[in-house]
Structure 1
Amino acid sequence: MSQTTLDKAPADGGAAVRKLDALIIGAGVAGLYQLHQLRGQGLDVRAYDTASNVGGTWYWNRYPGAKFDSEAYIYQYLFSEDLYKGWSWSEKFPGQPEIERWLNYVADRLDLRKDIQFNTTVTGARFDEATNRWTVETDTGETIDTQFLVTCGGMLSAPLTDLFPGQDTFKGRLVHTGRWPKEEVDLAGKRVGVVGVGATGIQVIQTIADQVGHLKVFVRTPQYVVAMKSPKYGPEEAAAYKARFQELKRTLPNTFTGFEYDFVHKWADLTPEKRREVMEEIWEDGSLKLWLASFAEMFFDPSVNEEISEFVRGKMRARLKDPKLIDLLIPKDYGFGTHRVPLESGYLETYLRPNVEAVNVRDNPIARVVPEGVQTADGTVHELDVIILATGFDAGTGALTRIDIRGRGGRSLKEDWGRDIRTTMGLQVHGYPNLFTTATPLAPSAALCNMTTCLQQQTEWISGCIRHMRENGLTVCEPTKEMEDGWVAHHDETASANLISKTTSWYLGSNVAGKPRRVLSYTGGVGAYRKKCAEVAEGGYQGFAMR
């Protein structure tokens, strides 16, 4: 329990109230590091998580084929060289079981478990203006009184599970990839349907095709894909990347996307032949480099984007061959890089298998789930034994809007964000004093960043802000309305200049009915965002009202 104190039970026999300096929601990549930092300041701090163990995203996303698409050696904490070098990866893009083991290694090395409460969901939080503290409630009936509330719930942690009428009538097994059970889901010889062909759906489809009896993939929005190359790592390869620790620590926080590579080529400076040569060379890397470090002009210039898009389409056509599959599985109505770009391993070839069928639901959408399977708008029933929903998340906002968070005057964060999604640098929200946030909208961590790079930076900023408050005898911090208005305007101006803002995708919240449209992620770059955050801190947190 660390130094946590429990008040005496009320006279009416109600439950005791736990008092904390800081409460952290989530025990994933951000939550673990945030706990380590605040505990290091001597705060009485505790993390709460719905899961039964650490891991966050990498606890829940245990579906078949789940793995990194950031290189393993950059998806790591950089605050401790010993911690970094104490773990060795087995390949460039390892799978979920290995990633989960790594996060358990972190929790154990830093002795964090004693200050984490598992199997506990935070259901509500209310700011008390009389005490300047938060009252937090959980599904276990516990009440916590805390000065600071820090959310580390993740940007892809609120799965869209209840999408189709009749799901509860299905006679077979229905699972969502974001809530995949720990026990084995028997797919052998079964009739399986996968709904969704985003990054998650692609990983599932390519992994289970040779296990199932028959696989139906319900395709609405096709994706540009890049063939992954994931070489195995032995002692020699591990030693090589570990020797780069100081270089990576220096460079990753300052690149455009928090990866080790950055944009170095200018489209206008190269001949058509040289452009093709660069794209071919980057393609062979088998990573996200074509998206995140080829030509930045693809995000701003439609003609450049079309040339790069056609390059990728050509790669995909050469593998698919079948004209019907080419028409269904290769995007035509949006450009490469304006959606999340998935890496894949044999995904396209999966559709050439005799036991795999692609079902077009772009023109004939899914109408409902019936006891026998999935029914499309034309009345066709696709009979299935297992339905796998790879239908995504309420990104950026969902982790917090599913909690009843009440700020000054009882205002509701769910209602506020239901009207207009606003934050101050993705770190705080006007009207919610002492609420600090990570992986929320209007920061790179909402979508366009190697997550550990951005989450480390955000938790460090939060820790620095709390340290500043404590050293100066301050108890409350809240961004001013003017500060938030200025950041939202800057965010929107930056976003409107690129093609992402003109493309329908979850990057704009387009996958959630009724969700206000705004580019969720700050598109000015990780390095630029980091610099702006540092300037605010170094300037005494101007724009953040403290008292």
Structure 2
Amino acid sequence: MTNVQGQPQTAGAKADFDAVIIGAGFSGMYMLHSLRDKLDLNVTVFEAGDGVGGTWYWNRYPGARCDSDSYIYCYTFDKNLLQEWNWSERYPEQDEILRYLEHCAERFDLKPDIQFGKRVVEVVFDDDTELWTVRTDKGDAVRARFVIPAVGALSTANMPPIKGLSSFKGKCYHTSQWPHDGVDFTAKRVGIIGTGATAVQAIPEIAQQAKHLTVFQRTPNFCVPARNGRVDPEVTKARKADYDGVRQRIKDSFFGFELNFIPKAVLETTPEEREQEFDKMWDAGGFAFWLANYQDMFFSKEANDVIADYLKRKIRSVVNDPVTAEKLTPKTYPYGTKRQPLDTNYFETFNKKNVALVDASTDGPIEEITPNGIRAGGKEYPLDIIVIATGFDAMTGPLKNLGINGRDGRALAQEWEDGPQTYLGLAIAGYPNLFTITGPQSPSVLSNMPVSIEQHVEWITECIAHMRRNKLTTIEASPQAQDEWGAHVAEVVNSTLMPGTNSWYMGANIEGKPRRFLPYLGPEGVGGYRRKCAEVAEKGYEGFVFTSQGQGGTVHTIAAE
């Protein structure tokens, strides 16, 4: 066994693996491929599921599909893969994305190094050996030089603390823990809790099958149409011919899409001009209305109101019942400060006779789940099936659940009680050789995820290669760099309308979770963040602290400032 520097391990410091990766979704699969096949490291992956796919393995609820255009919701590091794979739709469904990831696992021969059905429960750093011990729920205990959680930002389900949940006599399902053989809603009275992006996809599908569907809404959502469908073969051909250009544009963009803000302020336009732009984006569908609108939308409430008014008019024009339309019209937060759902017949579904809406603010909130249904506003709604679509303990939840303990026994879950602290969303002070892919305080969920995943994986790979070349043993963020990055993340977002909204971006969906903006909304977005990470590396990993193994076993600390 050799260590990551290609040198014999010192006595008492033998590692079972150079690196352990946690999770086998988009990020874990590419991380395995990069470390194993580019650096020739000894790597294993622990995956809780019985197959690859990450979020696309677990989330199989009705209507589940991606909301990034398929031609960029994929790996871009392999040119042949880009040319060979053909997507069936603009926004492919869960099963097609899972087939794609299965294909990638086979293509790059990843499965032999993935241990399925094993959930990591503890990750502990040993100060003496400078190795991590990773334990699973199946009794595994392995030691590794590097640990890389690739657990995703949205993988820890938010089960709301609703009184009486365990008393329900019918079936109850969380959308992120959906039965792999599906759920039959035929002739069933169904209740769904939540109206976020997941519910917006699921509600129209369930309503087509259920005898009756009752939607329990806490906060209405601004939705824009997906306009899903087959992609013109000529468009597909042109994109494949220009994939070098596509790849560069999404890497340099604000959000990882081929979308750019209108550089003009909406308040400087005439009503006719802006209406024409809004109609164009509405008809095109997708994220353009959110991510390619007028640039002052996120900074000026007055500007935001102009844009939100257009969407409110759309809701009222689609929903037949004026009372229901008003319930479905957001009034308490600016447009774009919550995750943008893309819909297919979402608002139209509330025109169906077998669909009812129960709104917390007008009809009364959910009080309890009874053996026979849900009680809200003093009224009981009898149900056979309850679907819980309340989202996730986003970004921090998946990492806090791993039982990570760093130097001197520092527990990450405890240190993050008041919110996450990272450097670049990649590393954490006091946790050597631990890298987080699309972690808190990185663009992550505010981007087309594969673009950000690839950037992080490639940065981590080159960082480890740098350590091997320079005989370095550990790397971690300096406390000063971490503090400065956290202050920068807060400063940038505080200039926008985002912090004023009770969103999961702010942790507001989890009872007791500290109010902290979790991702990074950089001044130049994904492209600017990429340049910042590259600059850090070019300056000798500025803001990181390394140790190297000297003669006689002494350790020298090298601080890159």
Shift of 1:34: 0.6
Contact 1:214 1:356 in 2 (8 A): yes
2:172 maps to 1:174: yes
What is the Cα deviation at residue 237 of structure 1? Answer: 4.4
Shift of 1:282: 1.3
* Map of 1:11 onto structure 2: none
Verify: 1:334 aligned to 2:333, yes or no: yes
Give the Å deviation of 1:185.
1.1
Are residues 1:541 and 2:547 paired? no
Give, as a single letter, the amino acid of the residue that structure 1 aligns with 2:62: P
Alpha-carbon shift at residue 100 of structure 1 (Å): 0.6
Hey, what's the Cα distance between the residues in 2 that align with 1:344 and 1:372? 31
Code of the residue aligned with 2:520 in structure 1: it is Y
Summarize deviations over 1:424-471 as a string: whole Å, max 9, x none: 1100111111110012211110x2100001111111111111111111
* Aligned partners of 2:239 and 2:246 also within 8 Å: no
TM-score (norm 2): 0.93
Letter in 2 for 1:44: N
8 A Cα contact 2:432 2:476, kept in partner:
yes
Q: What is the CA-CA distance between 1:269 and the residue it aligns to?
A: 5.3
Give the whole-Å Cα distance in 1 for the aligned partners of 2:233 and 2:106. Answer: 23
Q: 1:298 to 1:162 in 2, by over 3 A?
A: closer
Distance 2:182 2:391 in 1: 21
CA positional deviation for 1:235 = 4.9
Between the aligned partners of 1:269 and 1:141, the Cα distance in structure 2 is 63
Q: Which whole-Å CA distance do the structure 2 matches of 1:241 and 1:188 have between them?
A: 41
**Distance between the aligned counterparts of 2:161 and 2:57, measured in 1?**
23
Question: What code does the residue aligned with 1:20 have?
Answer: F
Equivalent in the alignment of 2:254: 256
1:154 and 2:171 equivalent? no
Q: Does 1:233 align with 2:226?
A: no
> What is the match of residue 27 of structure 2?
30
CA deviation vs aligned residue, 1:355-397 (integer Å, no higher than 9, x gap)? 1110122351112211111122x43221110000000100001
Tell me if structure 2 keeps the 8 A contact 1:18–1:143.
Answer: no
Partner amino acid, structure 2, of 1:315: K
Please give the secondary structure, in 1, of the residue aligned with 2:209. coil
* Greater alpha carbon shift after TM alignment, 494-503 vs 164-173: 164-173
**SS state of the match for residue 230, structure 1?**
coil
Q: CA deviation at 1:162?
A: 4.9
Corresponding residue for residue 76 of structure 2: 78
Question: In structure 2, how many angstroms separate the alpha carbons of the residues matched to 1:379 and 1:56?
Answer: 40
Rounded to whole Å, the distance in 2 between the matches of 1:416 and 1:511 is 20
Q: Secondary structure at the match of 2:180?
A: coil
Alignment partner, residue 409 of structure 1? 408
1:133-282 equivalent positions in 2, closer than 5 A: 133-233=131-231, 235-267=233-265, 270-282=269-281
**2:66 aligned partner, one-letter code:** F
| Cα distance between partner residues in 2 of 1:177 and 1:537 | 40
- In the TM superposition, structure 1's runs of 4+ consecutive aligned residues that sit over 6 Å from their partners are none
Residue 420 of structure 1 deviates from its aligned partner by 3.0
Q: Which moved more, 1:307-316 or 1:162-171?
A: 162-171
- Where do 5+ consecutive residues of structure 1 fail to align? 6-16
- Provide the secondary structure at the position in 2 that maps to 1:78: coil
- For residues 2-31 of structure 1, what are the alpha-carbon distances to aligned partners after superposition, in whole Å with 9 as ceiling and x for unaligned? xx99xxxxxxxxxxx971000000100111
Kindly indicate whether residue 291 of structure 2 is the aligned counterpart of residue 292 of structure 1.
yes
Q: Deviations over 1:295-321 (max 9, x none)?
A: 121000111100000011111111013
**How big is the shift at 1:256?**
0.6
Cα distance in 2 for residues equivalent to 1:374 and 1:357: 13
Contact 2:478–2:545 (CA under 8 A) maintained in structure 1:
yes
Q: Which residue does the alignment assign to 1:492?
A: 490
Matched to 2:408, the amino acid is G
Q: 2:68, 2:419 → 1: CA distance?
A: 31
Task: Indicate conservation of the 8 Å contact 1:90/1:234, yes or no.
Answer: no
Q: Distance in 1 between matches of 2:295 and 2:41?
A: 43
Tell me the equivalent position of 1:521: 519
Specify whether residues 265 and 276 from structure 1 end up closer, same or farther in structure 2 by C-alpha distance, changes over 3 A only: farther
Shift of 1:521: 1.2
| Worse-matched range after superposition: 258-267 or 461-470 | 258-267
Give me the identity figure in percent: 44
Letter of the structure 2 residue corresponding to residue 61 of structure 1: N
Q: CA deviation at 1:230?
A: 1.5
Q: Deviations over 1:36-70 (max 9, x none)?
A: 10012011011111011000011111100001110
User: What does 1:437-476 align with in structure 2 at a 5 Å threshold?
Assistant: 437-445=436-444, 447-476=445-474
Q: Is the 8 Å Cα contact of residues 21 and 148 (structure 2) preserved in structure 1?
A: yes
Q: Which amino acid aligns with 1:498?
A: T
- Measured in 1, the distance between the counterparts of 2:418 and 2:491 equals 20
Partner of 2:310: 311
Q: Give 1:10's aligned residue.
A: none
How many Å apart are 1:236 and its aligned residue? 4.3
TM-score by length of 1: 0.95
Distance 1:63 1:365 in 2: 25
* Residue 343 of structure 2 corresponds to residue 344 of structure 1: yes
Q: Secondary structure at the match of 1:436?
A: coil
**Distance in 1 of aligned mates of 2:60 and 2:239:** 27
Tell me by how many angstroms 1:161 deviates. 2.3
Contact 2:441 2:519 in 1 (8 A): yes
SS in structure 1 opposite 2:56?
helix
Counterpart-to-counterpart distance in 2, 1:184 and 1:301? 44
Distance 1:143 1:218 in 2: 44
Counterpart-to-counterpart distance in 2, 1:51 and 1:460: 25
Structure 2 unaligned segments of length 5 or more: list them.
3-13, 548-561
Determine the structure 1 residue equivalent to 2:383: 384
Relative to structure 2, which stretch is displaced further, 250-259 or 226-235? 226-235
Q: Which amino acid letter does the alignment assign opposite residue 83 of structure 2?
A: K
Please give the secondary structure, in 2, of the residue aligned with 1:309.
helix
RMSD, aligned α-carbons: 1.4
Aligned twin of 1:301: 300
